[in-house]
Chains A and B, each alone.
Chain A
Amino acid sequence: MLRHLVGTLLFGFLLVSLASGQATPGLPQGGNKAKSAQANNKQENLHLTRVQTVTVPSVLISTFVPPFRCDSDGNIYLQNDRLSPAIQKFNSKGEAGALFQPAPNTDKKLDYGGNCAIGPGEDLYELVYPHEMYQYVFAYKSDGTFKSAIKLNLGFRWSAHSLAVFPSGQLLISGFEYDKDPAAATWPFTGIFAADGSLLKEIKLEDDDTLRDMAASGDSRASSPTVPNVNRAVSFSQIGVAADGNAYLMRWTNPAIIYAISPGGEVVRRLKVDPGDASYGPGTMQIFQNRIAVLFIERNTYNKIMKVVDLEDHEIATYDELKASGKVTGGMLTGAFTCYTENPTRFVFLGADDAQKLQFVTTEPR
């Protein structure tokens, strides 16, 4: 009888294990290479495991709002107040470095500070919105010294939302063009701008019309039922520049659609990064050399999947959070995915301790 009971329990656990795998499709898959590694070596799935936590006692924080940026030296850029749009640089030890401030460098009254990007020479570029009908990119040297205010000179009503800087200094900017009818859905706009802010080329992306139609029809994947004219898929777009010199623009969709755009404005590739589960949404994209890491977040459980692909859209790996009995262990990671490096593979997240002190949480897949 006892042998029967033990056997039954083991069988039950086997069933539960199988059921768990089926209940979370795509989690964690380990990518093509990881899959074959698992098949050959019977390795366990890899999880994002905390390996280092750096606390910054001087910064109290309870909310994190993108952009989340880091540079090639591992410095982290924090912009947490859009109304006072200064950006503070921290080194990986949590020590404050350069401060990038638009207000002291202009006589304009500033309404808002937007997306920022690291450019050539680790210079910082920030979208800045003065109280006028033109939007600007403020450029700073890596030590915080102000370089220039680049006026984005377009002849129509639009707003810029995401930004990247090519090695040449040209800018790739994604945003909205507004319809004549304020209640109508906005139009996705993407353009290459010269270093002086003049528009060199407008880029029509393959899914622009589809995304616009989705917002216009109130499709919840692209718009809010209360604000149908604003397109989430475009609002939360993110751009980074990879080692091949192309910019990679990710739409906020599932699967995440990523366009590889050359400095000349050609769309050289269209990538689709699929978390394998429709309930996940993209969080943040970070690029390291020829790898793209996209963090996906499940809206209700806040479970996370980190997918890594190469620039040709080949899946490299998939990771999830370290869990025991279905619960995250070692402290849940935030969605504030800020930095990605390889050799070794590391992902840095912003976080906070119980006293709301800012933390840089470094994880590795293990």
Chain B
Amino acid sequence: MRPLRVILTLFVVLLVVFSARSAKAGVCWGYDTFDSEDCTGAHGCFGSRAPTYCSFGCISGTCNNQGNSTECCGTSHYIAQITPDGDSCDAEECTGGSGVFRTHASVSHVNSEHSAERRQGYSPGLIMLSANMSYKPARLIYVFNRCSHSFKLIVEDGRLLTTGGL
């Protein structure tokens, strides 16, 4: 009976170790940067920022969607931050690259076009609520990952944008 317990214990231990290794090997991160968004602020400030999220990639470690921040027209916005753990990512796409890839890079000429359109009196991507208040709608985004041939879900929260008093 005792050898049975020993073998069973070894079996369970091996299973735990194997499971842990499998889980660790799967945590490889990159950044997804979406088309830039306009931001406005006091004294006629008008700028743009590029929302950045954790995505699939080739850096082993942890990623926090609010691990870093950027400022636009005096308002802070969270952006993603990867904390590497030093391990490697063994996907084929990760073995010869720079370590970070972007699946949805922002398109600068489109952004410039949108900025110009906004100055001409409308605001693509925003729902107008009043003369000085707009709403950037929340979105669920399913992002294709070429590395793992899979998809991830990004919850992009909506927010109100004001350009002065109400």
Residues of A within 8 A of B (CB): 4-5, 8-9, 11-12, 15-16, 61-66, 82-83, 109-112, 114, 129-133, 135, 157-159, 161, 178, 182, 224-227, 229-230, 232, 235-236, 281, 283, 297, 299, 302, 326, 328, 331-336, 352, 354, 356
A159 touches B127 (CB 8 A): yes
A159 touches B149 (CB 8 A): no
A171, B150: Cα distance in complex, Å: 36
B137 touches A62 (CB 8 A): no
A63 touches B11 (CB 8 A): no
Identify which of residues 117-166 in chain B touch chain A, using a CB-to-CB cut-off of 8 Å.
117, 121-131, 133-135, 137-144, 146, 148-153, 155, 157-160, 162, 166
- A230/B138 contact (C-beta < 8 A), A83-B125, A299-B153 known: yes
B127 touches A112 (CB 8 A): yes
Minimum CB–CB distance for A66 against chain B, Å: 6
Return chain B residues, CB-CB under 8 Å to A157.
129-130, 133
A236, B22: Cα distance in complex, Å: 34
- A227/B137 contact (C-beta < 8 A), A4-B4, A5-B7, A132-B128 known: no
Question: Can you show 10 pairs from A to B with CB atoms below 8 A apart?
Answer: A63-B142, A65-B140, A109-B121, A111-B122, A132-B128, A157-B130, A178-B129, A227-B157, A302-B151, A352-B144
B83 within 8 A of A: no
B114 within 8 A of A: yes
B158 touches A131 (CB 8 A): no
A226 touches B78 (CB 8 A): yes
Return chain A residues, CB-CB under 8 Å to B12.
12, 15
Given contacts A8-B11, A64-B141, A64-B144, 9 further A-B contacts (CB under 8 A): A4-B7, A62-B103, A62-B104, A63-B104, A111-B122, A161-B137, A182-B162, A230-B158, A326-B22
A335, B137: Cα distance in complex, Å: 19
Looking at the complex, which one of A11, A133, A331, A336 makes contact with B128 (CB distance below 8 Å)?
Answer: A133
A133, B66: Cα distance in complex, Å: 33
B3 within 8 A of A: yes
Minimum CB–CB distance for A74 against chain B, Å: 21
B42 within 8 A of A: no
B45 within 8 A of A: no
A302, B143: Cα distance in complex, Å: 12
Minimum CB–CB distance for B18 against chain A, Å: 11
B8 within 8 A of A: yes
B91 within 8 A of A: no
B15 within 8 A of A: yes
- Nearest 3 CB-CB pairings of A with B: A131-B122, A235-B138, A224-B157
Return chain A residues, CB-CB under 8 Å to B152.
302
Minimum CB–CB distance for A238 against chain B, Å: 10
A354, B150: Cα distance in complex, Å: 10
